[in-house]
Structures are given as C-alpha cells and as structure tokens.
C-alpha cells in the first residue's frame, strides 16, 4: 500500500510550486474558461479564443504550466482535473464582499437557562450560543460565499444541513477538507464531571473536528427514525433546537477503560439508547 501523505510529510517546495503556478492571471482565466465550459473537453483553439490571449505561443506556454497539475490533455483537447475543479470552487466559495454578520436572535431557546439563542457570522465562522449561560452549540468555519443572495435564515438553514453532512462524513472516516482518512475517538472532558466529547482527526491534513456525543449521532438511522416517530424531523429541525443532542444529562459514562458510553433519548413513553465504545462505534441499540 502506498504510504499516506500528511501535512508533515508533503515537501513544501511542491506546495510552493503549485501556488506559484496559479500566480498568473492568464492561467486563472484558462482554469475558469474550462470550468465555465458546457463541454468537459475544450480544443486548443476554442480554449485560446475563450481566454482571449491571441498569441498561440504564449497561450501554449501557460497551458503547459497547468497541464498535469490542474488540467489534463486528451486527443480532443483539454479538461480540468479534480484539483483544477477544487481551485475554481475554492475561489468562488471564498470570494465575498462581507466576512462577518452582526449577532442576531434566533427563534430557539437555550435548553439550560431558557434565554433566546444568538447567532453571528464572525470572520468566516458561524457561532451559535446562549448569551446568558455561555453554552455554545456551534463554532465552525463556513465559506463566505454562502452570504451571497441569502438572508440570515437562509444562511443558518444551509449551515445546519452542511454541518450534519460534515459530521456524518467525519463519523464515516472522510475529511471534507483534504479527503484524507479521519479517525474518531472519545476524549475525556477537562473537568471530571464533564461528559466525553468526540474528536475526529484527519490523518492526512491534521484537521480535527470536535462534536458532542449526541451531535455525533444525529444522522444515525436509529436516532433519525426514533425522533421522526415522535414528530421530530432532524433534516427540518435546526440542531440547536434538539436538546438531546447537546444536554449532558442524556450521556452516561458506564466505564472509561474501556470506554462504554450510553446516549439516551426519551420521548413520550419510549426511550432510545445507543451504547458506543472509545472508537465511536455503536455496540448496541435498544428501544423500549
């Protein structure tokens, strides 16, 4: 098996070379000409016409700098590699006139003290929490491109769905930043009375993501089905309005060596319990 590349092992000169390749207006125009094309493959002449450089020699030089790294060549012409798609989409996601939104009140209330929750978009992070008791539900980076054409309600709707997807993929072992492999584990809280949290760490880029135990399993089929049976659609209900996902009282530590933790949801006359281990695997599901 080929050795996995990590942030610590990738040569910095390769990273520098890749970014230097993009330090050209002409090359950026080439990438976006391919990106905006209705055809996956564009011929040399058509691509030159779309970029508008005119000089075929100069155009060919810039094309060669991109080929093999961000685009590839076929008998019919040129097309974007995934890396080229990622560059274009990252630029579009990051381009915005605003990078912050002033705090605004939500419809939901804090499960702990009942105060009205507040959200803000602060330097490209979505932060949702209680201004009175200090509980935070979310503090996570979110691309500023999401602000374009959306009001605050739309922004939070998109963010909540995006976070559910991020969490589900992290549990499945995929890093959505570099597409490397993630591992998940239970980590003890700083205070002995605090419940454990789940840390998802990418083995390739080192990015980690912290989620509450309940939040980790919000997309788990038993949880989705149980809540739906009791009138809660997790896809349509903002996560910060589902107290089971956050309140410590629903997480019980049976043992720490090895880890055995029960996440329990009561609803009407039923109770759902998930028992998980230190690697965040579900060992048992009971519905009574």
Q: What is the pTM of this model?
A: 0.82
Q: How far apart are CA 230 and CA 261, in angstroms?
A: 24
* pLDDT for res 170: 95
* pLDDT for res 1: 42
Q: Residue 77 corresponds to which tokens in the numbers above?
A: 């012409």
Ordered by where they begin, the domains of the chain are 12-94 (1.10.10.10)
**C-alpha of 55 from chain center:** 42
Tens of pLDDT along the chain (288 residues)? 444 555 555 667 777 888 888 889 999 999 999 999 999 999 999 999 999 887 889 999 999 999 999 999 999 999 999 999 999 998 888 777 777 889 999 988 999 999 999 999 998 899 999 999 999 999 999 988 888 888 888 989 999 999 999 999 999 999 988 899 999 999 998 887 888 999 999 998 888 999 999 999 999 999 999 999 999 999 999 999 999 999 989 999 999 999 999 999 999 999 999 999 999 999 999 999
Burial class (CB in 10 A: 0-12, 13-18, 19+), 288: exposed
Tokens 């080229």 identify what position? 84
206 in Cβ contact with 7 (< 8 Å): yes
């Amino acid at each position: 098996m080929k050795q996995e590349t990590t942030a610590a092992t990738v040569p910095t000169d390769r990273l520098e070379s890749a970014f230097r390749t993009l330090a050209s207006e002409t090359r950026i125009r080439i990438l976006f000409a391919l990106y905006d094309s209705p055809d996956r493959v564009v011929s040399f002449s058509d691509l030159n016409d779309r970029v508008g450089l005119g000089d075929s020699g100069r155009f060919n030089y810039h094309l060669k700098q991109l080929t093999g790294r961000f685009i590839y060549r076929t008998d019919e012409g040129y097309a974007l590699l995934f890396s080229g798609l990622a560059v274009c989409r990252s630029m579009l996601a990051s381009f915005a006139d605003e990078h912050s939104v002033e705090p605004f009140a939500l419809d939901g209330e804090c499960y702990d003290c009942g105060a009205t929750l507040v959200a803000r978009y602060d330097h490209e992070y979505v932060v949702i929490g209680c201004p009175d008791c200090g509980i935070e539900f979310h503090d996570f980076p979110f691309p500023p491109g999401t602000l374009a054409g959306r009001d605050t309600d739309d922004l939070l709707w998109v963010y909540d769905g995006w976070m559910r997807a991020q969490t589900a993929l992290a549990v499945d072992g995929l890093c959505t930043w570099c597409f490397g492999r993630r591992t998940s584990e239970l980590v003890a809280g700083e205070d002995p009375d605090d419940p454990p949290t789940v840390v998802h760490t990418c083995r390739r880029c080192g990015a980690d993501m912290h989620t509450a135990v309940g939040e980790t399993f919000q997309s788990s089929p038993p949880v989705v089905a149980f809540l739906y049976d009791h009138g809660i659609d997790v896809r349509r209900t903002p996560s910060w309005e589902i107290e089971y996902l956050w309140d410590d009282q629903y997480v019980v530590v049976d043992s720490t060596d090895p880890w055995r933790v029960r996440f329990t949801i009561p609803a009407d006359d039923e109770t759902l319990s998930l028992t998980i281990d230190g690697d965040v695997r579900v060992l048992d599901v009971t519905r009574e």
